Chains A and B, each alone.
Chain A
Amino acid sequence: MAKQLIKGNEAIVKSAVLAGCRAYYGYPITPASEIAEAAALYLPRAGGVFVQAESEVSAVNMLYGAASAGVRAMSASSGPGMSLMQEGISYLAGAELPCVIADITRGGPGLGNIAPEQGDYNQVVKGGGHGCYRTLVLAPASCQEMADLTALAFDLADAYRNPVVVMADGFIGQMMEPVEFAAKAKAPGSQPWAVEGNRETRPNLASSIHLEPDRLEQHIRHLEQKYLRAEREAVRCEHYQTGDAEIVLVGYGIVARILKAVVDEVRKEGIKAGLLRPITLYPFPSVQLRALARQAHVFLTVEMSTGQMVEDVRLALEGRKPVEFYGRCGGNAPSAAELVQVVREVARRSSPVLIPDAITKTEVCHG
């Protein structure tokens, strides 16, 4: 099929329907509203359901209902709405119900503004709801990935019976790029645990309550095992020019796009920079980052926030190499020119000639 020039937000919906999604429950919010608008058009056409909920609180609980009934369902929101959904996400994870939520991030805290920011990392990746659960998080950096990762999100949600968030900044949601959609539509599947309102599924129960501490611990341990499996099996990231990189830039979403241009630019000056772009924010590509610490002198994390993912980068590297940070926020994106300056400065500061031999050798041992 020919590529289509399409907004990232709209690509999410088309890809979701092709992936077998048949329900959308959501509340409009800038810069995610095109997702609700496209869903209102396309879900009914595909024989699915679209309901504009009275709030994000209701929307996420509608996801809970649809997921309980075994339907591939999704919603979308942005920072303030994601905050409201956190209660429901905790319940979904606790009841092991799969669903997909797109978070098209904007500036915060509070009402903030509607320009792109990456300040939702902590609430989405670390889980803003209560209890021992995790949310799988995918971070597209292009409209094509909005489509591809949405489809993947539904598969991961089913495989792990857990909510999956597709988290993209407002740029990726609002921009248009050519997208090639899946050639074949997936049939909506059925789930043996679903409560469908028939004899076969009458014994089924969707619930997150386990009154006895021993049973709840057992349940939490079971969830934990799933998350450990995800950490082993579901990690995704993109390496760009990291083969010989002495400076490893780390960024996701639109920032990674800008960083690619930065890598190309500084390499012209002889600075050996590379980019590691986490595609899954949880599970985080810690192992992949650690592997780069063998050759890199320094890591530079760039975010459109005051530094949230950088904590995961530091945890991954466990002090092996210095981790620098550069962030813009409030709806401002760093320009490539601005970041080139930052990289030059970091390169100058962490030049290996300044590091005594002994330390360099120790670092090699670490590898």
Chain B
Amino acid sequence: MAEVPSGYTVLHERPKAFYDTFERKGELQQQTHYCPGCGHGLAHKMIARAIDELGIQDRVIAVSPVGCSVFAYYYFDTGNVQSAHGRAPAVATAVKRSRPEAIVFSYQGDGDLAAIGTAEILHAANRGENITVFFVNNAIYGMTGGQMAPTTMLGQRTTTSPLGRDPFNEGYPLHVCELLATLEAPVYLERVALGNAKQVMAASRAIKKALTNQVKGLGFSLVEILSPCPTIWKLNPAKAQERVREEMVKVFPPGVYRDHTTERAARPAPPPAPGLDELPRLLDLEGHEFDRTGLERPAGLDLRIKVAGFGGQGVLMLGEVLAEAGLLLDLEVSWLPSYGPEMRSGTSNCHVRIADQTIASPLVAQSNVLLAMNEPSLRKFIGDVETGGWVLYNSRSLPEGVTAPAGVEVLCIPFTELADTLGEPKAGNIVMLGALLEAAGQLPAAAIDRALEMHVKSARWLELDRRALELGRETARKELANAYV
């Protein structure tokens, strides 16, 4: 800044939150790119002055939009982020959440905020983001040469509404403050105008208040600024201001649409971040150890298991417990579910591999164990079981017309019914697991027990599952003994 000559007193000066010269601008670095009489220059100045008065310049991050104010970063000597068309509230949301100490404002025009960015402004407001939004409404697309805006007034001619905005073709002007005032979260919504000095003074107060709210941590504030666009409106600056004063305010009444600044408390500060050494515990990375003392890692194992049944029969969980047990035994394992609509109704299945060698494909096309909890699954998959493999089926016998491939062992036990005798038919999957331990016999029960412990969080269910497991083993032992007799 040049020194003040003696004898002069400074009454007005450029706000410090503006750069002295606009170096990012390229040419004409002493003046803005805004047209004479445009409201943006005035709005910028009021924001910059409020930043000065609040002493927050270092903390401010301005998020500029697409539109005439795309180059706001030429002028504000603050941190600057330039965003995509309409997305400034989303960008500002994350800037603020990333740097809660920063004072973040987005500055957006009517096309940016009220057309392409409608979702972003609505949801940022609805989340009550602690940001400030300055919304400059001049009822026209200025930057692109005068196309219709969502806020273009009825009858207003634009290059894309050449006959004047017709409600039957273009709908009605969008009222942003009124719209956002239907939400609970916003703290402060005010519409101001730049139609005369008095209105400008009121605008200045609103702008400062909106920033103050953020400094206090109160939440979402938006100031809509009805602003002249002399160039595109094809009016001289005085006439353009008159239009704001006489016409725009009738369509967009200035006023406070929400002010909860006195009753709203500051949003709670985020809790302090934990130390890095606490992260493994917080990420549930601990507690996966298993004492393998006395247990032999089954050699030569290559279980390719398919578990299938109705959704709700615990098919995926049964597979998970098997895979978890395999991992506890230091084996290679994989678990691959069918997912999606099957989960919500109909059949469900998973592929489990447990092997002592690296598993190439986790998909099980040819299985050596099929655990079928229902008939459709049995019918679908029994043909894929290899010689020497096992089929466990949730019934007393195979259904009519179904035969196992040659050399495949079949064990038919009504697992769900057995579980029902324990008072919980849902434990049928675990009864089946018990039977599998007896039939296929390669997985130590201790590993299954530990895997159950890891998966079943409720003590009641764990106790029940342990009984179900035992019941399955016992029943299978008897069945197998009978079969061999």
Which A positions have Cβ atoms within 8 angstroms of B?
1-5, 14, 17-18, 22-23, 25, 30-31, 42, 45-49, 51, 53-55, 57-59, 61-66, 68-71, 73, 87-88, 91, 95, 113-115, 170-171, 174-178, 181, 184-187, 195-199, 201-202, 204-209, 211-212, 254, 257-258, 260-261, 264, 333, 335-337
Contacts and interface: CB of A to CB of B under 8 A. Distances in A.
A63 B366 CA distance: 44
Interface in B253-294: 270-274, 276-277, 279-280, 282-286, 288-290
Given A25-B94, A45-B282, A206-B82, A199 B58 contact: yes
Residue among B97, B271, B337 facing the most chain A CB atoms (10 A cut-off): B97
B94 A63 contact: yes
Given A17-B279, A174-B336, A207-B80, 5 more contacts: A51-B97, A54-B123, A62-B94, A114-B340, A336-B365
Given A45-B282, A176-B334, A197-B60, A258 B360 contact: yes
Contacts of A57: 87, 90, 119-120
A37 B448 CA distance: 28
Contacts of B93: 51, 62, 65
Contacts of A258: 360-361, 363
Task: Provide the main secondary structure of the chain B interface.
Answer: mixed
29 contacts: A5-B333, A30-B340, A31-B340, A45-B283, A48-B273, A57-B120, A58-B119, A61-B84, A62-B90, A64-B83, A64-B90, A64-B94, A65-B90, A65-B93, A88-B84, A115-B340, A181-B285, A195-B81, A197-B99, A202-B57, A204-B79, A212-B26, A254-B361, A257-B360, A258-B361, A261-B361, A335-B363, A336-B363, A336-B365
A151 to B, nearest CB: 13
B68 to A, nearest CB: 13
A204 B81 CA distance: 8
A196 B335 contact: no
B323 to A, nearest CB: 6
Interface in B359-379: 360-363, 365-366
A208 B83 CA distance: 8
Interface string B47-71: 0000000000111110100000010
B485 to A, nearest CB: 38
B98 A257 contact: no
A47 B80 contact: no
Contact of B95 (A65, A87, A185, A264): A65
Contacts, number: 240
Contact of B81 (A49, A175, A206): A206
B273 A58 contact: no
Interface stretch (B101-109, B404-412, B415-423, B439-447): B101-109
Contacts of B216: none
Contacts of B339: 30-31, 114, 170, 174
B274 A58 contact: no
Closest 9 CB pairs of A and B: A197-B102, A47-B273, A65-B94, A69-B98, A207-B82, A61-B87, A65-B91, A260-B360, A61-B90
Nearest to A34: B339
B327 interface: yes
B333 to A, nearest CB: 6
B78 interface: yes
Contacts of B360: 257-258, 260-261, 264
Given A54-B123, A258-B363, A1 B94 contact: no
B90 A69 contact: no
Contact of A64 (B87, B104, B280, B361): B87
B198 to A, nearest CB: 34
Contact of A195 (B70, B80, B101, B290): B80
Given A177-B334, A202-B57, A51 B94 contact: yes
A73 B83 CA distance: 17
A207 B341 CA distance: 42
Contacts of B270: 47
Nearest to A188: B273
A18 B283 contact: yes
B112 interface: no
A198 B336 contact: no
Contacts of A53: 90, 123
A202 B73 CA distance: 11
A4 B289 CA distance: 9
Nearest to B324: A5
Contact of B94 (A23, A174, A175, A178): A23
A42 B284 CA distance: 9
A65 B337 contact: no
Contacts of B323: 5, 176
B92 interface: yes
B386 interface: no
Contacts of A51: 93-94, 97, 127
Contacts of A211: 26
Contacts of B286: 1
Contacts of B79: 195-197, 201-202, 204-205
